[in-house]
Amino acid sequence: MSEDFRPLAGTRVIEMTHMIMGPSCGMFLALMGAEVIKVEPPQGDKTRNLTGMGSPFFPLFNRGKVSVQLDLSTDAGRDALDRLLKTADIFVDNFRDQSLAKMGADPVELRAKFPNLILASHKGFLEGPYKDRTAMDEVVQMMTGLAYMTGPTGRPLRFGSSAIDIFGGLFGAFAAMGALMERQNSGNGRDIRVGLFESGLLFAAQHMVQFELEGTSPPPMPERDFSWPVYDIMETADGRQIFVGAVTEGQWDALCGYLGLDELLADERLQSRMDQINARSWTIPIVEKAIGERNYRQLLEDFENLGIPFSPINKPSELFEDPHVLRDGGLVRSNMADGRTFRAPALPFEIDGRMMSASGDLPSIGQETNRILSELGLSEAEIEAARGPLKAAAE
């Protein structure tokens, strides 16, 4: 059963991260069964306090973890971190190396002290001229050409989510799991570095390779040359938008037949797919007019029955009403430390025919500090010294 799919059970991960990229790596590992211990400063991860579009960052990407509070500006805190790392399989971070060194987690020293530890570091850029630049999702989307490809000419536009951060974290989890498999035979850890910029390059690769193979720089997606007869957003009689596609001869025939456009089916100028693509300037207005005479709900039902590619233009909030999203296993629920709950999409795969129910709740700041540090042999006084002033955590 999917509930039992926990391939990383028994794996201990120590995580020192903030924002999205590093936390998402830890989240993926936690949802696969790892014990992920998030090390937070006395005042907690600053991401906890974000509002607006930043408000989901901490709850979404820190599900299923436990929190340990350490003041890494003190010898006691750094000593406790050292003891934690001795018990760990993977160390996940997304801080600069200089910052890690100040916190007692210098990558070079960690490799020397813990040869079997897998270091999964998430950086803005990998080794190269840009190594020390400050990066964020939006910067990388601009640099890699993704924003250029997303918006129309002169109006570069970022994705509608922090996609590169999230997938950078996924690449980190993927590489760490590979290193775990290798370690079973070698007994040695690995130094893994994931670059946000390099993750963005992979997203842009299809456009780069088109230039490499054909010598042409593709235009932005809103202005692209179409490879399909119908591949457009249109408006229905009741004012709703709908995406409609017809990319094969069969779909073209089905769409035109359904819309009563027999004149297009009979037109000698439209007897091959290339004919249909080249004629888009005058055929699409005809199709748009026919779509505009029909009701949105009826179109959705009929297109599904006919096998015609289609999609409503949804807002993210509307997905909580989508019957496919709401099916058994499509959403998982998490509990927050303040008593609130939220639903989020499950991991996008099935195991033995079922989606995973793994979700994970959110810890309060330092919730498991006493338990985990006492298991390492620290006394109450040592734990108090290591975690720092509790007053700061409540502010």
What is the amino acid identity at position 34?
Answer: A
Furthest CA-CA distance within the chain: 88
Query: Do 77 and 387 contact (CB within 8 A), yes or no?
Result: yes
For residue 46, the 8-state DSSP code is G
Find out whether 199 and 22 touch, Cβ atoms under 8 Å. Answer: no
Last residue of a domain, one of 296, 317, 338: 317
d(CA 119, CA 192) in angstroms, rounded, equals 6
How many domains are contained in the chain?
A: 2
Mapped to the 3 state alphabet, what secondary structure does 51-69 carry? CHHHCCHHHHHCCCCEEEE
CATH of the domain at 301: 3.30.1540.10
> Which residues, at least 6 apart from 11, have a Cβ–Cβ distance to it below 8 Å?
29, 33, 34, 35, 89, 90, 180
Could you give the CA distance from residue 33 to residue 388 in angstroms, rounded to a whole number?
30
Q: Is residue 214 part of a domain?
A: no
Domain span at residue 301 reads 226-317
Contacts of 328 (CB under 8 A, 6+ apart): none
DSSP string for 290-337: HHTTS-HHHHHHHHHHHT--EEE---GGGGGG-TTTTSTTTEEEEE-T
Q: Tens digits of per-residue pLDDT, 340-373?
A: 999 999 999 999 999 998 889 999 999 999 999 9
Look up residue 75 and give its two tokens. Answer: 């010898």
Residue whose pair of structure tokens reads 């026919």 in the numeric block: 290
**104 and 242 co-located in one domain:** no
Q: Which of 287, 317, 347 is the last residue of a domain?
A: 317
Cα–Cα distance for residue pair 363/343, rounded to 1 Å: 16
Dist CA 392 CA 30 (whole Å): 28
Q: pLDDT (tens digit, 9 = 90+) per residue, 91-112?
A: 999 999 999 999 999 999 999 9
Cα(273)–Cα(263) distance, rounded to whole angstroms? 16
Q: Are residues 251 and 166 in the same domain?
A: no
Q: Considering the domain boundaries, does residue 260 fall inside one?
A: yes
395 residues of the chain, pLDDT tens digit each: 345 899 999 999 999 999 999 999 999 999 999 999 999 999 999 999 999 999 999 999 999 999 999 999 999 999 999 999 999 999 999 999 999 999 999 999 999 999 999 999 999 999 999 999 999 999 999 999 999 999 999 999 999 999 999 999 999 999 999 999 999 999 999 999 999 999 999 999 999 999 999 999 999 999 888 789 999 999 999 999 999 999 999 999 999 999 999 999 999 999 999 999 999 999 999 999 999 999 999 999 999 999 999 999 999 999 999 999 999 999 999 999 999 999 999 999 999 999 998 889 999 999 999 999 999 999 999 999 999 986 444 33
Q: Tell whether 362 and 309 lie within a shared domain.
A: no
Say if 368 falls within a structural domain.
yes
Task: Give the C-alpha separation, 215 to 62, whole Å.
Answer: 44
Q: Which residues does 3 contact at the CB level (< 8 Å), separation at least 6?
A: 356, 357, 358
26 & 127 share domain: yes
Number of H helices, E strands in the chain: 17, 13
